[in-house]
A and B are shown apart, each in its own frame.
Chain A
Amino acid sequence: MGRSQRSGQILFVIRTHLESVSSHSCYATALSFINGSTGQRSPPEWIMKTFCSVWLFLSLVELSPAPPVSQEPPLACRGPVDPALPQPETPEEMANTTGDLEPTHYPARRAATVALHYLNTRHGSPHMVFGLQQVHKASAEDVAAGGRNYSLDFSVTASPGGSPGPALRCSADVLFPRTEQHTPPDVQLRCEALQEINSTAEDEAFYQKYIAPDSAVSAQDLPDSYGNMSEEMQPFWRLGRVAASFIMLRESSENTELNMVQVANVTQQESSEKQLMLDYVVLLHDLPSQEITQWKLLASWSPDRGVRVLHTEWQPRCPHATKPPN
C-alpha cells in the first residue's frame, strides 16, 4: 500500500472520528496527561496503551486553528509523535484532589488564579491590576451536574499605580465544568472593601488625555526584553493585562495556570461611543505546558464602563520551526 494512500485512509478515519468527538476535549485530556497525576497508583498497562493510542490519533490531526484549550502548537508545525505517552488522570487520582486542599499546592492555586482573572476583568483598570497574594483555605468537591467546584479563601493585592498596595481578603467559588467541549469556568467572587480602593483620579486623567480625537498611541514590547517599560506606557500594559484576563479566564481549566508575559503590541484605534479603543497583541504563558500563545484582541475602556473585550483571535505561531509550514 502506497504511503500517501495509507495516510489518506488514516486521515479519513481520524476526520470522521473527530466530527463526532470535539477536538477540545482531546486537548483537555492531553493537558491532563502532561500534568500527570498526583496519585499513587498507576493504571493497568493495557488501559493506558489503548487510551494512549486513541489520544495519539486524535492529537495527530488538527483540522482548523480553533482557539486551543491546551496550548499545543498547530498541526502545521508538528513533528512525528511517539506512542509513549504520559498517563491519564485516573478516577482514584482525581479523588485525591477533592475535599480539603493544601493551600500551597497547585490545585488551590490554579483555582485562585482563575478567580483572580475574573476579579481583574470586573475591577481592573489602567491604574488597577490585582495580584494573587496567598491562598488561606481551599476545598474542592464534585458537583452533581458534572464538574468540580473549588471553594477558596484567599488574599489579593491591589496595585493602584505601580507600587504594591494593601491586601484584600476574598472568597470565591470556582466551578470547572466537565463537558466534552471546553466550557469556561464559572466564578462567584466576593472581596472585602473592594469599593474603598480606587484609582479614579488617575484613570480619569488618563482617559481625558487619550480620548482626544487625534490621539493615536502605538507601542511594542511592554515590557521590553529587560523588563523595562516607560511610565507613560504602564497604564496601557495594565489595560492589556486586564483585557488578557478575559481570555485567560475563558481558556482556563484545572490543568492550566495562565499568566500574561508581555504586550507585544498595542495600537490605539479610533474612539467609539466615548470608549478608548485599543488593538492588542498579547503573549500568554501556561505554566503546566510551558507554552507561549499569542492572542490578538480588541478592547474598549472608559472609566464608566470598564474594560470590555470585543474580539479575540488566537494567532498560531509556528514555534521553533526551521521552515514555514506547508
Chain B
Amino acid sequence: MKGSVMSVLVVLALVAQDRLAGGQEHKSYDYTKYHTMDEISAWMNQMEKENPDVVSSMIYGQTYEKRNITLLKIGFTSATPKKAVWMDCGIHAREWIAPAFCQHFVKEILGSYQTDPKVKMLFENLDFYITPVLNMDGYIYSWKDNTTRLWRKSRSPGTGDCTCIGTDLNRNFNANWGMVGISRNCCSAVYNGPTPLSEPEAQAVTDFLVAHQNKLLCYLTIHSYGQQILVPYGHPNISAPNYDELMKVGRAAANAIKAVHGKSYKVGTPPDILYAFSGGSCDFARLTGIPYSFTFELRDEGKFSFILPEDQIQPTCEEVYQGAMSIINYIHDKNFRGSAITVTATLWTTLVASWISSANVF
C-alpha cells in the first residue's frame, strides 16, 4: 500500500516537473501537428528569444483585421548589407501544410547552423526573411469551426454591392492584374479584388520586396496542394529570361525531394502544368527582378487535398526542406563561389589532417 502510494507520488512529481520545465518551449513544440495562429506567434517570439544573435523579427504591414504581419529575419549580423532569401507561407488560408513547413524550415536551419558548415555559410552570406503565416486573418478564420476549414481568401469585406467577403491574395498583386485566371465575381475563390493591391497583405509584401529588391536573390512562396514546383510566369504570354535556368534548378529540387520519400513533384510554369493566372506574388517577384522565384505546391495530389493528415506533416516538410535547400544552395554557390570553395577546402583539410594524425598514432 505504502509502495503504491509512493510510486503515485513519484509519478505526480515527475509530471509536475515536466509541466514546469515547459519554459523551454521549442523543445516541446510539436512540429508534427497543425498550430493555431496564437501558437505560431508565441513560437516566433520563442525563436527570437532563444536565438537572439541570429533571429530578429520585423513587422512589415497589417492585415485587414489589423494584425501585425511579422517575419523572422535569420542569419549572422553583418556590418555590410547582405543578400537575402524570402519565403512566405499561408497566402491561402486553407493550405495548412504551408505554415507548418515554414516552421519546420526555421527549426531546421536554427538547429544546424552551428554544426553544419554549409548552413553556417548560408548564415554568413545570406539573410532569410521568413513569414510563417501571411494571410493571418484567413488562417484564423479557417480554424473557427468545421464549416470554415476550406476558406482561401483574405477577410476584407466586399466593396460596392458585393455581399461576399475576401479577395484571393494570389491574384491581387500588380503583375498583369486581372488578365487571366481570375474572376470579377467577388464571391469567387479567385476574385482578384476591386483594384490591384487593394489588400493590405499584398501591399505589405510588395512594399518589402521593392524596398529590398537589390538584396533579394530568391523568392519562395509555399502553397498546397499538387506536388509541383512552379516557375514564372503564371501569365501565359510572357517568358522569364532565365526560364531555362529556372527549369534546371527546379528539376534539381524535384530530384532532391524525390530522394527523401519517393514523392514526385512536377516542374513547370502554371500555364503548362496547372492553369494560367495573373496577379500572383511569384510573377510580381520575378517582374521586380528577383531572379530565382518559385511557387511550391506541397502534398498531396488530391487524395486529401487541403486537409492533409497530420502524420504527413513531417515527411512533407522533410522532403520540401531538401528541395528548398537545393535551390538556396545553388543560388548561394553561384553568388559566393569563393566561400563555397573555402568550405570544401576546409572540409578536405580537416579530413586529411585527422587521417594523418590517426595514422601517426600507429
- Give the B-binding residues of A (Cβ under 8 A): 34-40, 42, 59, 72-73, 77-82, 84-87, 102, 104-106, 109, 113, 131-132, 134, 220-221, 223-229, 259, 261-262, 283, 285, 287-292, 319-323, 325
Contact = CB atoms under 8 A, between A and B. Distances in A.
Nearest to B268: A104
A322 B276 contact: no
A40 B266 CA distance: 23
A220 B303 CA distance: 18
Given A77-B164, A87-B180, A262-B149, 11 more contacts: A35-B276, A36-B271, A40-B237, A42-B237, A78-B186, A84-B178, A104-B273, A134-B264, A226-B309, A289-B188, A319-B187
Nearest to B34: A226
A319 B164 contact: yes
Nearest to B189: A290
B303 A72 contact: no
A226 B308 CA distance: 7
Contacts of A102: 272
**Complex A-B, nearest 5 residue pairs according to Cβ-Cβ distance, in ascending order:** A79-B162, A227-B309, A36-B276, A36-B180, A259-B302
A68 B152 CA distance: 21
A84 B184 contact: yes
B179 interface: yes
B275 A106 contact: yes
B268 A38 contact: no
18 contacts: A34-B181, A34-B182, A34-B275, A35-B275, A38-B276, A77-B163, A81-B184, A84-B178, A85-B184, A104-B273, A113-B302, A131-B303, A224-B146, A227-B310, A229-B309, A319-B187, A320-B166, A320-B187
Nearest to B143: A225
Contact of B312 (A131, A134, A227, A291): A227
Contact of B273 (A36, A78, A106, A322): A106
B271 A227 contact: no
Interface in B173-206: 178-190
Contacts of A73: 164, 185, 187-188
Contact of B164 (A39, A59, A106, A320): A320
A125 to B, nearest CB: 16
B188 A72 contact: yes
A72 B185 contact: yes
A283 B163 contact: no
A117 to B, nearest CB: 11
Given A81-B185, A86-B180, A225-B149, A285 B164 contact: no
A70 to B, nearest CB: 10
A289 B190 contact: yes
B305 A261 contact: yes
Nearest to B278: A36
Given A72-B188, A261-B307, A221 B146 contact: yes
